[in-house]
Structure 1
């Protein structure tokens, strides 16, 4: 049986941050409409092409709350697993396809790989680090935004495991965004 692939697909500043100190990603808004326009007709690049291949999503509770604050659920009917250690029940208006889980990352990854071919690790930083530390991440797909935040929530932290990467694809957009896809070597 083929096991699923887990990909971290995320936007990041040139200096390595995914959000400001308050967890805000408002700094990305100036790039979003340009990115969508530039990605149209790009074949395999861009969010729409990536999302079309996704069978399931994984995210942390903070990322879930942030996505819910944006309004309508953007992930259609894709099964979404939210890692949480909180005993509180999800909000009443939660999406039917969302399952809150409290299990070790390695166990969750194994279960999802058995069920789905393509799994998107949405974020946040703590969840991404946990998947890296347990060697449960297969690909990094980073969209580098041409901005230096100078501080905030760092994607990889400072004490993570060493991982060798193989560059699979690079796409440069006129906006200055650069999309990089890496395979993570074992």
Structure 2
């Protein structure tokens, strides 16, 4: 029997619920080695992006002068994954990136899951996250709460009109002050 991969929302969030500052800044995110982000990357073989997030990070390459080898290797690992970019604009696919304008998001996500053995990282942005929440398509929520209050910015949860009950599965507290909360969707 084939393993069905999970769609995992894994991202950083400020204590007051923002995923980026008012000008798109993420300089408050802590990349703590204790969090072992590479372990998470080895658990996935695909990434789902919204177009704006893909434009910012989908082909990002760290500056050689400002980055160490671990950072460069992390980005190489990210870019080795299959990428699915949800957009209403027209783009040409390339070797590991497909641009999708889904008519039926549920069918599209299930089709993407059928192509993979490992889990799928829902990277963001806010619009695609909201759409997948509304259709109950996120299997696991991994929110790394950072010890910062931004005051304003892009909220994690926007335009959610119905309750979604989750089950707490794990909590990790790191020396940096980041607390990772892991929840799974409830199955009935």
For Structure 1 versus Structure 2, the TM-score category normalised by the shorter chain is 0.7 to 0.9
2:107 aligned residue:
107
Matched, 1:135 2:136: yes
| Pairs aligned (count) | 171
Asked whether the equivalents of residues 129 and 160 of structure 1 are also in contact (C-alpha less than 8 Å), the reply is no
The whole-number CA distance in structure 1 between the counterparts of 2:17 and 2:55 is: 22
Give 1:178 shift.
0.6
Q: 1:85 aligns with which of 85, 88, 107?
A: 88
CA displacement, residues 27-53 of structure 1 (integer Å, 9 cap, x when unaligned)? 22xx22xx12x23xxxxxx31111101
5+ residue gaps, structure 2: 63-74
Give 1:56 shift.
1.0
2:167 aligned residue:
166
The whole-number CA distance in structure 2 between the counterparts of 1:173 and 1:95 is: 38
1:58 aligned residue:
48
The 4+ residue runs of structure 1 with deviation greater than 4 A are none
Asked whether the equivalents of residues 45 and 116 of structure 2 are also in contact (C-alpha less than 8 Å), the reply is yes
The whole-number CA distance in structure 2 between the counterparts of 1:19 and 1:145 is: 12
5+ residue gaps, structure 1: 40-45
> What is the Cα-based RMSD across aligned positions, in Å?
1.9
The whole-number CA distance in structure 1 between the counterparts of 2:37 and 2:174 is: 13
- TM-score computed with the length of structure 2 as normaliser: 0.83
CA displacement, residues 105-138 of structure 1 (integer Å, 9 cap, x when unaligned)? 2122110121113111011111111101011111
